[in-house]
Structure 1
Amino acid sequence: MTVVSDDPSWWPLISSAQLNSYWIVAASGVVIYDWVMTLAQEVELVWRQRFSLMTVLYLSVRYTGLLYAVGWILSTLPTVSQTDAVSNIVLKALDWTNLVTAFLLGVIMTTRLYAMYQGSRKMLVFLIVILLAINIACGALTAISLKYVEGEELILSGFHVCTYYYARDVQLLISTIWILTTVWEVLALFLSIWVSVRHFCELRLLRVGQPTGSIVEDYFTVLVKSHALYFGSFTAVSCLQLAYLSPSLLVCRYVSDLCMLSLFIIIIGLKFRRNCHFQ
C-alpha cells in the first residue's frame, strides 16, 4: 500500500534516497559512456568478426548490464512513481539479472582458465563443478530471499521513494550469496596466478632464441593484469556488502550492486578488447 506523508521525520530518508539516486545515475552513466566511447571499436572487433562462444558471452554481459543500469535508474529516481507491485517486479528482475550476469562472467572466467591451463580436462571438470555448485546455491538462496522481501512505495513531501522490507534472516542470506561468490573469485584468482607463475618460469628458460616466447609471456601478462583489476574491483564491492549487516550503511547497501556490475561490464570489455589484439 502506498504511504503518503509530509512528516519532517522522513527527511533523512528522503536525503538518503536522493544521494542513492545520484550514485546510481553516476554509475550508470559510466557504463553508458563506456559503451558509447567503445562502440566503434566493438563493431570492428566483435560485430564484424566471426562469432564464437566468448563473443556471445561478452555481448550478453555487456548489453544485459546496460539494461540493468537503465532499470536501476528508473527504479530509484525520486520523480518516478512505482506501485508496490511494480516495485516487487523490478526488485526480482534486477536480482535475477544480477545472478545471471554473474554466472555468465563465471563461464567467461572458466573458459579463460581452461585456455591458460592448456586445455586440461581435469581442470575444466573441476571448474564446471565448482561454478555450478556455487551458482545453484546462489540461485536457491536468491529464490528464498525474494519470498520474504516486500516492496512499498512512499510519497514523502512529493518525492517517490521505493523501500524494501526484509523479513526473517534475509540479509544473512544475501550476505551468504556474496560469500559464495567471493569464494569463486578467490579460487579463480589463485588458479590464474598459479598457472601464470609456472608459465613465466618455463618461458624464462626457453626464451633465449625463441621470439614467440615473448608473445606468449605478454599474453599471460595481459590476462593476469586484467584479472587482478577484475578481482580488485570485486573485492572493493564485496566490502560494501557488509552494509547488509549494518543498517547504518544504508546508502552503500543500495549502491553496491550497481557499482559491481558497472565495474564488471567495463573490465570484461577491456579484457575482451585486449584479447582481440592478440588474435
Structure 2
Amino acid sequence: MSELEKDVYYLDWNNNISVVMITLVTYEYILQFEKEVKFVWERQWTAMTYLYLVVRYFGLFLAITFACWGGLFYIPAAVSHIIFLIMQWGWSLYFCLAEVLLIWRLYALYNQSKPILYVLLGLFLPVIALYIAMDIFLWSRPSAVSTDEIIITPNIKYCTATFHIGPMPAIYASIPILCYDVLLVILAIVALGKHLKERKELKIRPSIYVVMIVRHHIMYFVINLACQIVIVVLWTGLQAVARNLVLLFKDTAPFIIMPRLIISIWDMHANENCIHVSTTFEDCVCWTSPPSFEQHEMNSCAACA
C-alpha cells in the first residue's frame, strides 16, 4: 500500500468513526432529554443539578469535539493542535468532575461524615495535581506529542497526532489515579456491607439507592480503568482500525454513562410508590440512615427507607 493509499485509508476510518461517535452521543442525548426536562428543568435546582448539567453538556461538547477533530472537518494544523490540547485537558477535567460526584455520594452513604469528606478531599488534591502534571508532560510539550497535517490533495487534508515518547510515563501516572478509585470502591462496598447488616438486624429490606450507588461506583471504576488502559495503549502506536475503535470507546462511553448514573437515581426515586416522592432525592436522608421500627412502620411505603 502506497503512502497516499495509507493516508486515504486512515482518513476514511477517522471519518467513519467520527460519524458513529456523533450519532451515538446525539441519540443518547435525545433518549435522555425527556428525563432531563422532568428532573432538571422543571424542578428546583440543587448542587447536584449543577453538577449534572456540567457533566452532561461539558461531556457533550468534548464528545463532539473529539469526533470533529482530525479529518471530519479541515482545521489548520496550528488551530488543530490547540483544539487537541483543549480535548486532553478537558478530558482530565471531566474525570475530576466524575470523582467529585463519587465523593459526594460517599459523603451521603456515610451519613454526611465530615472526617470521610475531609480525608477524601485531602487525597483528591494530589490526584488533581497529578492530572495537571500528566497533561503538561504527556500532551502539552512539543517533544512529547505534535500535530501533523497530512495533505492528500490540495482540497483533502487532515491532522493527526504523533507521539514521541513511550507509554511508560502514562503507565506510571495512571497508577495513583487508579489507586484512588480503588479506595472509593472499597469505601462504597464497606458502606454497603454495613447497610446490609443494619437492615438485616432490623428485618428491613436493603435500600435500593444504596445498592445502586455502590453499583455506580463499581461501574465508574471499570470505565476509568478501561480509559486509563486506553491512554497507555494509544502511546504504543496502534494500527488505524484498532486505534479508531479504541478512541470510539474512550471518547463516547464516559460522556454517555456518567450523566446516566446521575439521572437514573432521580428516575427511580420519582417512579417509586413513595410518600417522599415530592422531595428531591438530595433532600431525602432516610435512605442512608437505618430507621427505627416506629419510623419503618410509618414510612414502610417509602422507597428511600
> In the superposition, relative to structure 1, how do residues 20 and 180 fare at CA in structure 2: closer, same or farther (>3 Å)?
farther
> Which amino acid in the other structure matches residue 41 of structure 2?
W
The code of the aligned residue for 1:141 comes to M
Alignment of 1:143-162 (within 5 A): 143-145=136-138, 146-148=140-142, 149-157=145-153, 159-162=156-159
Structure 1 unaligned runs (5+)?
A: 1-6, 208-212
- The 5 A counterparts of 1:44-193 are 44-78=38-72, 80-145=73-138, 146-148=140-142, 149-157=145-153, 159-168=156-165, 171-193=167-189
> For residues 248-269 of structure 1, what are the alpha-carbon distances to aligned partners after superposition, in whole Å with 9 as ceiling and x for unaligned?
3555555545633522232222
Instruction: Render the CA deviation track for 1:76-119: whole Å, top value 9, x for unaligned.
Output: 334x2221211111111111111111111111111001111111
CA distance in 1, matches of 2:83, 2:225: 26
Quote the Cα distance in structure 2 between the aligned partners of 1:39 and 1:110. Answer: 26
The answer on whether the counterparts of 2:62 and 2:90 sit within 8 Å (CA) in structure 1 is yes
1:9 is the counterpart of 2:3: yes
Opposite residue 248 of structure 1, the aligned amino acid is L
Structure number with larger C-alpha Rg: 2
Cα deviation for residue 45 of structure 1 reads 0.4
In proportion to residue count, which structure has more helix?
1
Aligned counterparts of 1:105 and 1:142: Cα–Cα separation in 2: 17
CA distance in 2, matches of 1:247, 1:22: 20
Q: Distance in 2 between matches of 1:185 and 1:77?
A: 35
**Distance apart, 1:66 and its partner CA:** 1.0
What is the rounded CA distance, in whole Å, between the counterparts of 2:119 and 2:243 in structure 1? 33
Q: How many residues align?
A: 265
Aligned partner of residue 153 in structure 1, secondary structure: strand
The runs of at least 4 aligned residues of structure 1 exceeding 4 Å deviation read 249-258
SS for the counterpart of 2:262 is helix
Q: Partner letter of residue 216 of structure 2?
A: S
Q: Identify the match of residue 269 of structure 1 among 244, 247, 259.
A: 259
Q: For 2:100 and 2:78, how far apart are their aligned partners in 1?
A: 33
Alpha-carbon offset, residue 127 of structure 1? 0.8
Contact 2:192 2:214 in 1 (8 A): yes
C-alpha contact (below 8 Å) 2:21/2:67 kept by paired residues: no
Cα shift at 1:59: 0.6
CA drift of 1:65 comes to: 1.1
CA distance in 2, matches of 1:125, 1:261: 32
Query: 1:34 and 2:24 equivalent?
Result: no
Cα RMSD (Å) of the superposition? 2.4
Secondary structure at 1:247's aligned position in 2?
Answer: coil
What is aligned with 2:286? none
1:105/1:180 CA distance change after superposition, 3 Å:
same
> In 1, Cα distance between the equivalents of 2:9 and 2:183?
40
Matched-pair contact (CA < 8 Å) for 2:185–2:218: yes
Task: Show the counterpart of 2:19.
Answer: 25
Report the TM-score when normalising by structure 2: 0.78
Q: Secondary structure at the match of 1:152?
A: strand
**Any stretches of 5+ residues in structure 2 without a counterpart?**
270-280, 282-305
String of CA shifts for 1:10-68, please: whole Å, max 9, x gaps.
42343234223323332332222111111121011011212122111111011011111
Amino acid at match of 1:42: E
Aligned to 1:235: 225
- Shift of residue 240, structure 1, vs aligned partner: 2.8
1:178 and 1:238 in contact (8 A); partners too: yes
Calculate percent identity across the aligned residue pairs: 23
Alpha-carbon separation, structure 2, partners of 1:111 and 1:60: 15
Pick one of 201, 205, 220 that aligns with 2:197. 201
Partner of 1:248: helix, strand, or coil? coil
Report the CA distance shift for 1:217/1:182 in structure 2 as closer, same or farther (over 3 A).
Answer: same
Give the structure, 1 or 2, with the largest relative contact order (CA under 8 Å, sep 6 or more): 1
